Chains A and B, each alone.
Chain A
Amino acid sequence: MERRNFIKNICAVTAVAAVVSPSSLLAKDAPKGGNVLTYDAAVSAITGGKPVADSDKIKLTVPEIAENGAVVPVKVNIESPMTESDYVKAIHVLTTKNGNARSADVMLTPMNAKGYFATRIKLAGTQDVVALVELSDGSFLRAAKPVKVTIGGCG
């Protein structure tokens, strides 16, 4: 009988622990250590409320399916003459569902000769990768592509 009770107790304790621990973990994780920024907030912080047009000029290259969300290659190519009067001023790489929506802001100059930027980013889950491009005349262009992530990379 003693052994039976002992096993019952153990079961009860582990059950309680199993119920409690995930919720307490979530509560701890909620205020994320670094920056927390939603996609909409990031876009408005960059554009300052200016209209953003979807454009074919931006060629955004991302994998359709990323097996590992910790390393997702992103390549942005923009058709632009890159002269003193007409060049790509900035490329912003954003994600729609990461804790911090911003990944990289790249300020280019005519010395770059091409509107090109490549890097590797982390994706927490399946979501869109967005390239927000600012031209020298102050207008904004946008291109987005979805990426399926099988293992998240931000945790």
Chain B
Amino acid sequence: MAEARKSMIKFKPKKFKVGDTIKVDFIVIHPMETGTRKDKKTGKVKPAKFIDNITFSLDGKAFTTMKVWETVSTNPYFSVNFKVPGKGKITVDYTDNTGEKNSKSKKLKPKG
């Protein structure tokens, strides 16, 4: 685990039951540098730094994988649907092109 990044997993709606289809939103604070922009102070090109792989998994079983390029906005947001099979833990693992690895988890607590 490299430097800690701020990230967040959100379930929409907040209250759900087993069998409901919910949205899983993942937001991370990341510069998503393209590698073509210049630093206005130094005039040097900023090196590319962007998230390239994201895996959404439930209790270790991946249900959505993504490949992402630098054309995704700064502080990216990704949203997918997901059918709640029961209690569990949603984990999002993500790596960037410089090899930085991070992950974020949130417990699934369906009611009823």
**For this complex, into which size category does the number of interface residues on chain B fall?**
20 to 34
Most interface-central of A32, A33, A103, A154 (chain B CB within 10 A) = A33
Residues of B within 8 A of A (CB): 21, 23, 34-37, 45, 47-48, 50, 58, 62-74, 76-83, 85
Q: Which residue in B58, B67, B74, B85 is a CB contact (below 8 Å) of A105?
A: B67
Which B residues are in CB contact (< 8 Å) with A103? Answer: 68-69, 71-72
Contact between chains at B79 and A104 (CB < 8 Å): no
In the assembly, what is the distance between CA of A154 and CA of B23, in Å?
A: 29
Q: Which residue in B62, B68, B73, B79 is a CB contact (below 8 Å) of A153?
A: B73
Which A residues are in CB contact (< 8 Å) with B73? Answer: 70-72, 119-122, 153
Contact between chains at B35 and A33 (CB < 8 Å): yes
In the assembly, what is the distance between CA of A44 and CA of B72, in Å?
A: 21
Contact between chains at B47 and A95 (CB < 8 Å): no
Q: Who on chain A is nearest to B48 by CB?
A: A34
Additional A-B contact list (17), CB under 8 Å, known A35-B70, A98-B71, A119-B72: A29-B36, A33-B35, A34-B48, A34-B50, A95-B71, A103-B71, A104-B67, A104-B69, A104-B78, A106-B80, A107-B64, A109-B62, A111-B58, A111-B83, A113-B81, A116-B79, A122-B72
In the assembly, what is the distance between CA of A28 and CA of B44, in Å?
A: 11
Min Cβ gap A146→B in Å is 17
In the assembly, what is the distance between CA of A14 and CA of B48, in Å?
A: 33
Q: Who on chain A is nearest to B79 by CB?
A: A118
In the assembly, what is the distance between CA of A23 and CA of B67, in Å?
A: 35
Q: Is A112 an interface residue (CB 8 A)?
A: yes
